[in-house]
Amino acid sequence: MRVVSLHPDVLVATSRIWQTTCTIVRGGDEAFVIDSPVLPDELELLPAVIEQSRFPQPAGLLATHADWDHLLGRLAFPEATLGCAASTAERMRATPGEAQRELRAFDDQHYLVRPAPLSLGSVQALDAPGACEIGPHELALHPAEGHTSDGMAIWAPWAGVLVAGDYLSPVEIPVLGDGGSIEAYAATLDRLRPLVAEAQFIVPGHGASLGSERALSLLAEDLDYLQALAQHGVQAELPEGRRSKVQRVIHAENLARTSKSEH
């Protein structure tokens, strides 16, 4: 796991698997952990990383959306309350046990053993758009559906850091998961554009943090891809630098999901 500081109040830990990001934000004497690393040893190390960085232990956890690889903070901080957008809380209510089943399948595939099963515990639904107090500051919460049916992006204005969830990834094309759609995904990108322009750093759900200029370029590329996917289907051109075999598999899955939603 790699840990970098984007601001005196913001750390980003990046998992060795899928480059999944976990952002630790401090406001005065409070801190929140947003999303999570994936591997057992990374989660075990997370409290020590926070302590060694002289951050307070987290007052709570935040999840940008309900995909299982973003919900593992409770394994590191089992007593912490998990906050998420109301749309994410609703998705978890509608699909009880989904994250646990998918985590078990991942662990079985990779022969991983965890010290305890995942328990999501108390979940607090938050308004998005809305705000979440953190010490003397506020985190602004913005709705971010399209990748899935749920989600939020989190803006820390005093630090100039936007935690974008599974958007604006430099390593992955737009992914249309369960409940996702081209229209909602494009609407989220348009909604995030002014924040991206203002931010010093953008933290995607997967991949290295970005400066504003690079993130705006990715945003334009992703909108072009989504338009091409809608208009040209399998012939849509993938964004430059994200045309690997794995990304072509994701593209095929996007096409299948789009075709299914049209019937």
Spatial separation of the C-alpha atoms in residues 245 and 238, rounded to whole Å: 11
| pLDDT tops 80 at residue 262 | no
As to burial, measured by CB atoms within 10 angstroms (0-12 exposed, 13-18 middle, 19+ buried), residue 222 is buried
* pLDDT computed for residue 258 by the predictor: 86
As to burial, measured by CB atoms within 10 angstroms (0-12 exposed, 13-18 middle, 19+ buried), residue 213 is exposed
Annotation: CATH topology of 2-261: Metallo-beta-lactamase; Chain A (3.60.15)
* pLDDT computed for residue 263 by the predictor: 46
- Compute the mean pLDDT over every residue in the chain, rounded to the nearest whole number: 95
* Contacts (Cβ under 8 Å, ≥6 apart) of 219: 168, 189, 192, 193, 196
pLDDT over 90, % of the chain: 95
Mean pLDDT along residues 6-32: 97
* pLDDT computed for residue 145 by the predictor: 97
| pLDDT tops 70 at residue 260 | no
Q: State the pTM of this model.
A: 0.95
pLDDT in tens, 101-118: 999 999 999 999 999 999
| pLDDT tops 50 at residue 153 | yes
Spatial separation of the C-alpha atoms in residues 37 and 156, rounded to whole Å: 20
Spatial separation of the C-alpha atoms in residues 1 and 15, rounded to whole Å: 5
pLDDT in tens, 226-252: 999 999 998 999 999 999 999 999 999
